[in-house]
Amino acid sequence: MKRNETRSDVEEAVIRTENLTVGYGETVVLQGVTFHVAKGEIVTILGGSGCGKSTLLKALIGLIPPLGGSVWVAGHPIVGPDRQEALEAVRRKIGVLFQSGALLGSFTLADNVALPLEEFTDLPKALIDEIVHTKLAAVGLADYAQYMPMELSGGMRKRAALARAMALDPEILFCDEPSAGLDPVTAAELDTLLLQLNEALGITLVVITHELASILAISQRSIMLDSEAKGIIAQGSPRDLQEKSTDPKVLAFFHRNPSLLAQAAGSTTP
């Protein structure tokens, strides 16, 4: 536990890492990473290109095994000998919105959204069709169920991917750069949709994003990673980080001002 955390904060956590080390083979990308995400919270993961945001996400959703430390997701420890079994349970409780959207191009939107329901449940087809309709309606795509992904705009594809990520009513939704490639208005609409999901369903959101406007609009807490530190350099409410941080890297990010980094580097030069 950290100094400013209470025991109940940690007990209510739906994601918890302790001294987590992640990377590829011999290459360590992040080490000693400890944080938690409370139920119903919206947390953004920030940091410069290559600092390990996607790598951390891959470890949280079980795509890569941690090199060290522990990870609990939705009540399951996803390390150790029972990792595979735990991951099967976890995969029913989480949704993932990948950066690319990752819709299958040769399937209609309805078939794309039905995929997780067919894979993870024994529900009859009529019920699956109903759920698919509800999910597409929730993202404003009820009239597009029979469209192919290539017939839609980028924003609509993202919303369809969101409907698929929500198909199993996940407890936690992970989003990897949801606004990437979207114009500011479409990105803001997606933010609103994510906020609605959080408010209406109490779903916990972990969002990787570089978009300052999104960070300020949606997150209650931000966790900032850094490639030199190979870990967390700041966490807190994004407004506090923007207004009160004294770390030049945090300030440079939140004020979109690279000269703050250069000044800090200059001030340490003899």
Residues forming contacts to ligand ATP in the complex (CB under 6 A) are: 24, 27, 29, 47, 49-55
End-to-end CA distance of the chain: 38
SS3 assignment for 149-190: HHHCCHHHHHHHHHHHHCCCCCCEEEEECCCCCCCHHHHHHH
Contacts of 200 (CB under 8 A, 6+ apart): none
Residue type, 264: A
- Which of 55/198 has CB closer to ligand ATP? 55
- Which of 102/115 has CB closer to ligand ATP? 102
Tokens of 1: 């536990």
Cα–Cα distances in Å, from 68 out to 22, 35, 64, 96, 203?
Answer: 7, 15, 12, 23, 28
- Which of 129/247 has CB closer to ligand ATP? 247
Least distance in angstroms from the C-beta of 58 to ligand ATP: 7
- Which of 34/227 has CB closer to ligand ATP? 227
Contacts of 127 (CB under 8 A, 6+ apart): none
Distance CA 199, CA 233 (A): 29
Least distance in angstroms from the C-beta of 112 to ligand ATP: 24
Least distance in angstroms from the C-beta of 47 to ligand ATP: 6
Least distance in angstroms from the C-beta of 154 to ligand ATP: 18
Residue type, 204: T
Phi/psi of residue 75, nearest 5 degrees:
85, 0
- Which of 28/123 has CB closer to ligand ATP? 28
- Which of 156/223 has CB closer to ligand ATP? 223
- Output the CA torsion 205→208→212→217 (10° steps): -10
Least distance in angstroms from the C-beta of 52 to ligand ATP: 4
Rg, the chain, Cα only: 19
Least distance in angstroms from the C-beta of 208 to ligand ATP: 7
- Which of 55/245 has CB closer to ligand ATP? 55
Distance CA 223, CA 244 (A): 15
